[in-house]
Amino acid sequence: MSQGEGWLQISTHGFASFNKSRPPGHLVKELVQNSFDAIGENSGTVTLDYYTEDGRFHVYCRDTGSGLDDLDDLRVVYLTHKTDSHLKRGRFGRGFKEILSVADEALVGSGTNGLHFKVENGEQVTQKVTLENPQKGATVNMLFPWPEETAQEFDSYFSAFLIPHNITFLLNTTPVPVRSAHYSVATSLPTEIYNTESSSWRKPRRKTIIELVECRENELPFIYEMGIPVASAEWSVPFHANILQRVPMNPNRDALASGYAKRIHAASLSTILPDLEKEEATADWVGSAGAKCDPKVQKDILDKAFGENAVRSVPNMGKRDYDHDAERTGAQIIKTSQMSGGFREMAREHLPSAKQRVERVAEEQRQKITEQSFTLESHNKTDKRLLWIKNQGGHDHVNKCLSFAVWFCQHLVNSTDDPGMPVTGALALGSDGSFDGFDVDIFMAHWSDDNILTLALDEDCFWQDPFGALALSILVHEAAHSRNHHHGKSFGNEVERLAGVAAQTMFLNSSYIQTQWPGLMKQA
């Protein structure tokens, strides 16, 4: 038996003052993680018992790991003879010295050797002892001045640990269940390794696995370092992120390195995206993480958050209202000015603008209607068209109705000081009016850039009541497109103006109309 002065070769009181502000559980976890490290990839058992007796709080931690080579090293802060590894939770045995600094008494044993940290005559002393019952691994018995309710805090804290599959963790004799990962994400993340040559910490990137473990009821999502909770996950999904390598933290190990949580979010997002509800997919953390993901994942995020028909809003400049036009095609208008930075960045990269959507749909409509349209001289090429011509009154009747519509629209187009090109007419089937999945109105009529008015054979109003209010209102609407291809304020103004022109045209030319197109007036 031998005896030496003091417990640690450092200002013990100063070190203790620094560590007393830390939560008791965060101090005791240092014992547990040292035990996990000692077992490593082998099978083993870690036992943690705690209770209050004679007014002092007892903590007992035992493992079946590799044991301690030299107990004297426990007294020297930052001393270790082991090669540092990013796969070890502990940092040079520092954690034991931190918890020892706030203890009233401690006994550490490994094999047959023990080290007793105690107080004699008001002085801290360290005494080497020989253990009567040597055992494999290491054993730590400690006494603290903590209140009895500390046990309830420990119950909650340590039962939330994610226990490695090769370790049995007994918490006051009760095994803590092993929780399997719901997802495993392979990625590369910064870690921490101590460089002995330069005596400095490095933070290289290493390939690792993020285990996403489902939260229990009432659990908040946490980031774990190889099973030990270290910080809030800072996301809204019910998963813990267990990093299977050392997590870079500040010197006090109570906060993550800046930006580390966002790296976890970005690495995990594509995996958990299918589990997100639409509201969750619009959370700020998703936008921040998504901005760092590959383009396909970014597009999937936007589709999840805003729908597959989302488009960026185009500010109304007074004449054009592309947002309104895009909405008519079934688009979801997204105002990027109201988005968080990450979403705004992704939206600008992947979402078309309302103007682009309108122009795309208009072009697809034009192409499809052009492909479908025909003149009466070519109608015999398609049996379906023949049937519709017959249903609507035959060749001559359809020709009269179409010629009236062209004449009527030509009067509207010519009602300004700058008359447009001559209007020509064509026919098509409007029942095929959905364009490449866009939810648009069934095609009734269409006005092309070169003033071709195409009417739908299956729109009865043109053929059964060509002078009626519905047919004329559609023609007025289409003629307005000769000057305004969008549906903004100026388009509305043009429709109102042409409505007046239409009334005047029908009134002043009533005799001509009756003479030129006899029999087209719908009979009461």
Q: Which two tokens stand for residue 63?
A: 């493992």
pLDDT for the residue numbered 11? 57
Q: Is 414 a domain residue?
A: yes
**Inter-axis angle of helices 341-350 and 295-306, nearest 10:** 110
Residue type, 472: L
The most distant pair of C-alpha atoms in the chain lies apart, rounded to whole Å, by: 130
Are 246 and 231 contacting, i.e. CB atoms less than 8 angstroms apart? no
| 37 in the same domain as 154 | yes
Q: Which two tokens stand for residue 313?
A: 């809003």
Q: Is 275 a domain residue?
A: no
| 202 in the same domain as 247 | yes
Q: Look at residues 328, 358, 388 and tell me which one is the last residue of a structural domain.
A: 358
| 453 in the same domain as 346 | no
Q: Is 363 a domain residue?
A: no
Please report which helix (H) or strand (E) contains residue 372, including its range.
helix 354-372
| 148 in the same domain as 51 | yes
- Per-residue pLDDT in tens (0 to 9) along the chain, 524 residues: 455 555 655 556 666 766 787 899 999 999 999 999 999 999 999 999 999 999 999 999 999 999 888 887 777 766 555 578 999 998 766 788 889 989 999 999 999 999 999 999 889 899 999 988 887 899 999 999 999 999 999 999 999 999 999 999 999 999 999 999 999 999 999 999 988 777 788 999 999 999 999 999 999 999 999 999 999 999 989 999 999 999 998 877 778 988 999 999 999 999 999 999 988 999 999 999 999 999 999 999 999 999 999 999 987 655 567 888 888 788 999 998 888 889 999 999 999 998 888 888 877 777 777 777 776 666 555 566 778 888 888 889 999 999 999 999 999 999 876 666 799 998 888 765 443 443 344 678 888 888 899 998 889 999 999 999 999 999 999 999 887 766 667 788 889 999 999 999 999 999 999 999 988 877 53
| 44 in the same domain as 127 | yes
Q: Is 418 a domain residue?
A: yes
**Closest by Cα among 309, 305, 343 to 326:** 309
pLDDT for the residue numbered 440? 41
Query: pTM for this one?
Result: 0.75
| 210 in the same domain as 79 | no
Q: Look at residues 144, 177, 210 and tell me which one is the last residue of a structural domain.
A: 177
Q: Is 498 a domain residue?
A: yes
Are 425 and 403 contacting, i.e. CB atoms less than 8 angstroms apart? yes
| 446 in the same domain as 398 | yes
Residue 255 sits at the vertex; the CA angle it makes with 249 and 256, to the nearest 5 degrees, is 50
For residue 88, what is the domain's CATH number? 3.30.565.10
pLDDT for the residue numbered 97? 86
User: Cα 314 to the chain's mean position, in Å?
Assistant: 25
Q: Is 321 a domain residue?
A: yes
| 41 in the same domain as 17 | yes
| 134 in the same domain as 122 | yes
Number of structural domains in the chain: 4
Q: Look at residues 259, 294, 320 and tell me which one is the last residue of a structural domain.
A: 259
Q: Is 301 a domain residue?
A: yes
| 157 in the same domain as 204 | no
d(CA 375, CA 397): 14
pLDDT for the residue numbered 400? 93
Q: Residue 18 is part of which domain span? A: 1-177
- Three-state secondary structure call for residue 404: helix
| 162 in the same domain as 41 | yes
| 183 in the same domain as 171 | no
**Closest by Cα among 370, 378, 376, 398 to 466:** 398
d(CA 455, CA 112): 100
Q: Is 270 a domain residue?
A: no
